[in-house]
Amino acid sequence: MKEKIDVFDYSVKFTKDVMKGFLLTTKANGKVNSMVIGWGTIGIQWGKPICIVYVRTSRYTHKLLEENPEFTVNIPIDRLGEDVFRICGSLSGKDMDKIKEANLTLVEGECVSVPAIKEAPITLECKVIYKQTQVVEDYAEDIRKKYYCNGEGKAEGQQAVHTAFYGEIVNAYMIK
Amino acid sequence: MKEKIDVFDYSVKFTKDVMKGFLLTTKANGKVNSMVIGWGTIGIQWGKPICIVYVRTSRYTHKLLEENPEFTVNIPIDRLGEDVFRICGSLSGKDMDKIKEANLTLVEGECVSVPAIKEAPITLECKVIYKQTQVVEDYAEDIRKKYYCNGEGKAEGQQAVHTAFYGEIVNAYMIK
C-alpha cells in the first residue's frame, strides 16, 4: 500500500540522512538498477519541487538516465541493510542484476515508469527536467583532488565528473 | 545575539517557504545588496552541506557574487514585510541602496564578509565552492517559454539564464 506524503515534510530526513545512503533507481530497456547515493539536494526551481541527484558520467545509472530520464529516490526508514549497501554501493549493474542480488522488492511506480523499492519505502518519483554535467576545471582544488583525481586506491571510474540531474518530484509516498 | 542552529533542522522550513520569498544578501566593494529569491535547494554535495541559489546573469547580485563569492540566505520567521518584498524583489541595487530604502538592519557575519539581516533572522552563511551557468537550449520547452522568453510584460533582463551558485553552508544561526 502507498500512503501519499508531502515530500517537503521529509526535507529534514532527506538532508540529514542522505549521507547515510539512499537508493537511486532507474529503468531502461526492461532493466531496473539501484545505486547508493550519498549526495543530493531538495527544494524549488522554476516553481517546481525538485530533487537534484549527482551521478558520475561513468556510471551505469548515468546510461540508464540518458535512455529513460525518470528515476525514483528510495529512502530507508533507518538505514540500508548491509548487503544492499554493499551490492548497490560498490558493484555495477552493467554486469549483474543488483535488484535480485540484494533481494530488493520492486513496487510499480505510479507517475513514472521506474519502480519504487519496498525496503527503502519513502519514495520520490522524479522526471528529469534539466541536466547539466559539471566542469572539472571549475571545481575548487580540494574538491578536485579528493573526488576527481585518480589518487591511490581509486578506480579509474572515480575520476569521472558528475552530472546534476534535476528531477521534478511528480509524486511522493511511503510504502506500507 | 546569534543562536547557533543545525541548518538541516530548518530544511522543512527552507523547502516549504522559499517560494514565499527569502533574501539573498551579497557584498562587494563596500556595497551590500539584498534580493528576494523564491527558488533554492538544500542538501549535500562533496560531503558538504550545500545551499544552491539561482541568480540570473543579468542581476546586480550576480555581479556582486562574481566579485566576492560569499552570500547569506536570510529566512524570515513568517514572511518578508511588504515593503521589503517590493523593494528587494523588483528594484535593482545597481541604482539605489536597497538596504536603506527597505529599512533593513545589517548584522555582521561571522565566517563570511557578508552581513546577515535582522528582519529575516534565520541565517545561512555560505561560501561559493562551485558555480555553473545553465544552458538555455537545454531547458524543457515549457520552462524556456515561461521563464526565459521575452514575452509580453516581461523586462529584457527576465530573459537571462540562471547561474547555479553552490554555497557551502559554513555557519548557520538565528538572530535573536
pTM: 0.95
Taking CA–CA distances from A41, the nearest residue in chain B reads: B43
A25-71 residue pLDDT tens: 999 999 999 999 999 999 999 999 999 999 999 999 999 999 999 99
Mean pLDDT of B96-117: 97
C-alpha cell at A60: 551505469
- Could you tell me the pLDDT band of residue B149, with boundaries at 50, 70 and 90? confident
| DSSP assignments along A84-129, one per residue | HHHHHHHS-TTSS-HHHHTTPPEE--SSSSS-EETTS-EEEEEEEE
Helix (H) or strand (E) segment spanning residue B33:
strand B31-37
Q: What is the pLDDT of residue A156?
A: 52
By C-alpha distance, which of A67, A91, A88 is closest to A25? A88
Return the exposure string of A41-65: e unless at least 16 CB atoms fall within 10 Å of the residue's CB, then b.
bbbbbbebbbbbbbbbebbbbbbbb
C-alpha to C-alpha distance for B130 and B143, rounded to whole angstroms: 24
- % of chain A surpassing 70 pLDDT: 95
Q: Which residues contact A96 (CB under 8 A, 6 or more apart)?
A: none
pLDDT tens track for A135-170: 988 988 889 888 987 655 455 545 889 999 999 999
Distance CA A155, CA B123 (A): 40
Rounded Cα distance between A75 and A13, Å, is 9
Give which of B9, B18, B46 to mutate to test A binding, by max A Cβ within 10 Å.
B46
CA triple A70-B132-A52, angle to 5 deg: 25
Q: Taking a C-beta distance cutoff of 8 angstroms, is the pair B92, B151 a contact? A: no
ipTM of the complex: 0.94
Are the beta carbons of A57 and A111 closer than 8 angstroms?
Answer: no
Of A40, A44, A135, the CB nearest to B43: A40
Provide the shortest C-alpha distance from residue A24 to chain B (in Å): 15
Residue in B7, B12, B15 to test binding to A, most A beta-carbons within 10 Å: B15
Q: E-strand spans in chain A?
A: 2-4, 22-28, 31-37, 40-45, 48-56, 70-75, 106-107, 116-117, 122-133, 162-175
Tell me the chain B residues in contact with residue A66 when contact means C-beta distances shorter than 8 Å: none
CA distance A148 to chain B (A): 11
User: What is the CB neighbour count within 10 angstroms for residue B174?
Assistant: 16
Q: What domains appear along chain A, each with residue ranges and CATH number? A: 2-175 (2.30.110.10)
